[in-house]
Amino acid sequence: MIKENFIKIYEQSFREHWELPCYSNYGESESYTYGEVAREIARMHLLFKHCQLRRGDKIALIGKNNARWCIAYMATVTYGAIIVPILQDFNPNDVHHIVNHSESVFLFVGDNIWEQLEEERLTGLRGVFSLNDYRCLYQRDGETIQRFLRQADSAMEEAYPEGFGPQHVNYTELGNEKVMLLNYTSGTTGFSKGVMLTGNNLAGNVVFGIHSQLLNRGDRVLSFLPLAHAYGCAFDFLTGTAVGAHIFLLGKTPSPKILMKAFGEVKPNLIITVPLVIEKIYKNVIQPIINKRSMKWALSIPYLDNRIYGQIRKKLVEALGGRFKEVIIGGAAMNPEVEEFFHRIKFPFTIGYGMTECAPLISYAPWSEFVLTSSGRILKGYMEARIAKEKPEDRLGEIQVRGEHVMAGYYKNPEATREVFTDDGWLRTGDLGTLDEQGNLFIRGRSKTMILSSSGQNIFPEEIEARLNNMPFVMESLVIEQEKRLIALVYADYEGLDSLGLNTPESVKAIMDENLKNLNNSVAAYEKVARIKLWPTEFEKTPKRSIKRYLYTNLTEA
């Protein structure tokens, strides 16, 4: 059990960092110091007491990243209630289901999302609050929430007649073994399960972040990953708040253009991101430079290449604000070509591995110790891992983990909980990989997506897709099996084709035939793709931006 109490970490942080800036909405004037956040939390606690909320009651939260999202989260957990963060990309039916399934009594929601929900379907809610200004959007008959909110200033004066100061930050006594968060997964299998995370699971991740000095007092953070997802939540938000960092919350879709501007202005000390963002920057910023004929010539000359790589690294570091100690990439597999290039130019990046069920971190290594193609080291003292092989001679096996970060189970779903744990208590990750003697983890792919070839070879479609996605005019791809052959579904870069006058059936076929030839020259014989089939639209994705494979795997030959 982690000795630091999750709730007390924040009690101490708000007292110690009272005058420091805490949360700012990027590009807006709304900003709070740690003291101002503590006051807002105290005001919310008075509302919860007025409504006679009990420890363990559920409070749902859905909206874009902003300061009020963070305050609502903190007010909930420090009161002793259970927070239910919901990804804002979930469709209204999913939101209705999660709010009802979790038995949430309050909902904090972005105004634009509330417009799409049907209050009569949210049967258990007692009150709904706007994430724009905390006004009450809905109250159940008999509730007096709106009346209380009109008198909230008087209630604060009555509770704290001499003003609210650091000495008044006293949060509930709640052991780390208690469930404090329900996180509904956005898996690619079509079902959403409520992951029960305890104070210990959350404290383990935050304490690891503090002891690893990922962030320090006064550091600046640009939070652009959705906070309802475990990865951005644990490190941008929870670790940042624990150490006294200044967190800038980006509420817009993080396109490369918007991000580059924000990085330049915020100049963050740490960058937490997913491969998609880094790969877009590589494709849009770096590839055009290194694909120039003169640059290819220069890079072929010894001594010149190191100087050029140094210049590219410097440009990239400056473009990302110039002050970060490292870029941590997680959430999905990294494109091998991009990873190898970043390693070659000595860019300070590292790749970690985790899952919602571990709140989320399982492995990480600082960039100076990161081993290429790995996903970092298993977190010593926090987590253990083993590779479960079906046969002793197998090279690969399922990665199974146990330790401080592993969830309590799935909410109201004992069957799914039983399935995901082994008889001796290890969590099945569903990922296949290997582990070296130093504890470095190497992931090959998901056991559910692995294809067994007719010759008995393991084929990981993600690895083939990573190569194909780097080829001309390929926006994204999906490799599936049809009648014992591999077929690549490709959503082409139609905008790029249009701009060059190449968007004709003949031109697109010639380009894709060339891509197919080059792809098959770069993979093993058993991984060769029989044909490329053009797909008319983007593939449907989960809120985490993973393709919903199950929608495409049973397609019949067209």
3 state DSSP class of 15: helix
Q: Which structural domain, as residue segments, surrounds residue 196?
A: 6-201
Q: Can you give the pLDDT at residue 241?
A: 98
Residue 558 pLDDT greater than 50, yes or no: no
Domain at 71, CATH number: 3.40.50.12780
- Which residues, 6+ apart, have CB-to-CB distance to 309 below 8 Å? 344, 345, 346
Average predicted confidence (pLDDT) for the chain: 92
Q: In the predicted model, what is the mean pLDDT of residues 453-482?
A: 85
pLDDT grade, residue 225 (50/70/90)?
Answer: very high
Per-residue pLDDT of 107-158, as tens digits, reads 999 999 999 999 999 999 999 999 999 999 999 999 999 999 999 999 999 9
3 state DSSP class of 342: helix
3 state DSSP class of 154: helix
Q: Give 547's strand partners.
A: 541
29, part of any domain: yes
% pLDDT > 70, the chain: 97
73, part of any domain: yes
556, part of any domain: no
Q: Are 437 and 514 in a shared domain?
A: no
Q: Can you give the pLDDT at residue 543?
A: 65
Residue 296 pLDDT greater than 80, yes or no: no
Q: Are 458 and 390 in a shared domain?
A: no
* Position with higher pLDDT, 550 vs 403: 403
Which H/E stretch holds residue 204?
A: helix 199-211
For 321, phi and psi rounded to 5 degrees?
A: 105, -25
- Of the residues 201, 236, 253, which one is the last residue of a structural domain? 201
Return the closest-CA partner of residue 72 out of 26, 19, 32.
32
CA 156 to chain centre: 36
Residue 388 pLDDT greater than 80, yes or no: yes
Task: Lowest mean pLDDT of 172-176, 287-291, 472-476, name the range.
Answer: 287-291
Q: What is the pTM of this model?
A: 0.85
Domain at 458, CATH number: 3.30.300.30
Q: Can you give the pLDDT at residue 206?
A: 98
Task: Lowest mean pLDDT of 150-164, 196-210, 234-248, 252-266, name the range.
Answer: 252-266
Return the closest-CA partner of residue 520 out of 553, 476, 483, 487.
487
Task: Lowest mean pLDDT of 294-298, 381-385, 502-506, 543-547, name the range.
Answer: 543-547
209, part of any domain: no
Sole residue written with tokens 């809120």: 543
Q: Are 57 and 93 in a shared domain?
A: yes
pLDDT grade, residue 333 (50/70/90)?
Answer: confident
Q: Are 64 and 144 in a shared domain?
A: yes
Q: Are 433 and 547 in a shared domain?
A: no
Q: Can you give the pLDDT at residue 307?
A: 85
Calculate helix-pair angle for 34-50, 152-159, nearest 10 degrees.
Answer: 100
Q: Are 384 and 455 in a shared domain?
A: no
Q: Can you give the pLDDT at residue 188?
A: 42
- Of the residues 141, 169, 201, which one is the last residue of a structural domain? 201
- Cα-Cα-Cα-Cα torsion 194, 198, 201, 202, nearest 10 degrees, comes to 90
Per-residue pLDDT of 49-108, as tens digits, reads 999 999 999 999 999 999 999 999 999 999 999 999 999 888 898 899 999 999 999 999
259, part of any domain: no
Per-residue pLDDT of 276-287, as tens digits, reads 888 888 877 788
Q: Are 414 and 297 in a shared domain?
A: yes
Q: Are 384 and 478 in a shared domain?
A: no
pLDDT grade, residue 189 (50/70/90)?
Answer: very low
- Of the residues 402, 429, 446, which one is the last residue of a structural domain? 446
Q: Can you give the pLDDT at residue 186?
A: 61
Q: Can you give the pLDDT at residue 557?
A: 52
Per-residue pLDDT of 411-426, as tens digits, reads 999 999 999 999 999 9
Residue 190 pLDDT greater than 80, yes or no: no
Measured between alpha carbons, how far is 421 from 430 in angstroms, rounded to an integer?
11
Q: Are 342 and 484 in a shared domain?
A: no
Measured between alpha carbons, how far is 198 from 409 in angstroms, rounded to an integer?
10
Measured between alpha carbons, how far is 345 from 518 in angstroms, rounded to an integer?
25
pLDDT grade, residue 456 (50/70/90)?
Answer: low
Q: Can you give the pLDDT at residue 85?
A: 97
Q: Are 442 and 458 in a shared domain?
A: no
Number of domains the chain contains? 3
Q: Are 183 and 108 in a shared domain?
A: yes
Regarding beta strands 58-62 and 104-109, do their DSSP bridges make them parallel or antiparallel, or are they unpaired? Answer: parallel
Q: Are 352 and 493 in a shared domain?
A: no
Tell me the Ramachandran region of residue 251: left when phi exceeds 0, alpha when psi lies from -120 to 50, beta otherwise. Answer: alpha
275, part of any domain: yes
Q: Can you give the pLDDT at residue 438?
A: 96
For 55, phi and psi rounded to 5 degrees?
A: -55, 140
557, part of any domain: no
Contact 337, 361 (CB under 8 A): no
Which H/E stretch holds residue 243?
A: helix 240-243
Q: Can you give the pLDDT at residue 466?
A: 86
Q: Can you give the pLDDT at residue 245?
A: 98
